[in-house]
Amino acid sequence: MSVPQPSGAAHEGGIAAVVVLAAGQGTRMRSSTPKVLHALGGRSMLGHVLAATAPLAARHTLVVVGAGREAVEEHLAQVAPDARPVLQEEQRGSGHAAAVALAAVPDIEGPVLLVNGDAPLLRPETVTTLIDAHRSQGNVLTVLTAEVDDPTGLGRIVRDADGAVRAIVEQRDATPEQREIREVNAGVYVGEVSALRRALGSLGEDNDQGEQYLTDVLGLLVAEGAPVGGAPAEDPVDVLGCNDRRELAARRRTLNDRVLDDLMRAGVTVVDPATTWVDVTVTVAADALLEPGVHLRGTTSVATGAVVGPDTTLVDTAVEEGASVVRSHVLGAVVGPRATVGPFSYLRPGTRLAAGSKVGAFVETKNVQVGEDSKVPHLSYVGDATIGRGSNVGAATVFVNYDGVEKHHTRVGDHVRIGSDTMLVAPVTVGDGAYTAAGSVITTDVPPGAMGVARARQRNVAGWVRRRRPGTAAAKAAEAAGHAGAEAAADTRAEASE
Sequence-ordered list of residues with C-beta below 8 angstroms from that of 435, at least 6 positions apart, any chain = 416, 417, 418, 419, 446, 450, 451, 452
HEC secondary structure over the chain: CCCCCCCCCCCCCCCCEEEEECCCCCHHHCCCCCHHHCEECCEEHHHHHHHHHHHHCCCEEEEEEECEHHHHHHHHHHHCCCCEEEECCCCCCHHHHHHHHHHCCCCCCCEEEEEECCCCCCCHHHHHHHHHHHHHHCCCEEEEEEECCCCCCCCEEEECCCCCEEEEECHHHCCHHHHCCCEEEEEEEEEEHHHHHHHHCCCCCCCCCCCCCCHHHHHHHHHCCCCEEEEECCCHHHHCCCCCHHHHHHHHHHHHHHHHHHHHHCCCEECCHHHCEECCCCEECCCCEECCCEEEECCCEECCCCEECCCEEEECCEECCCCEECCCEEECCEECCCCEECCCCEECCCCEECCCCEEEEEEEEEEEEECCCCEEEEEEEEEEEEECCCCEECCCCEEECECCCCECCEEECCCCEECCCCEEECCEEECCCCEECCCCEECCCECCCCEECCCCCCCCCCCHHHHHCCCCHHHHHHHHHHHHHHHHHHHHHHHHHC
Instruction: Identify the active-site residue in 48, 378, 408, 483.
Output: 378
- Asked whether 325 and 343 are in contact (CB, 8 A), the reply is no
Residue 378 known to be catalytic: yes
Pairing of strands 141-147, 183-192: antiparallel
> Cα separation of 134 and 230, whole Å?
8
Pairing of strands 43-44, 39-40: antiparallel
Give me the active site residues, please: 378
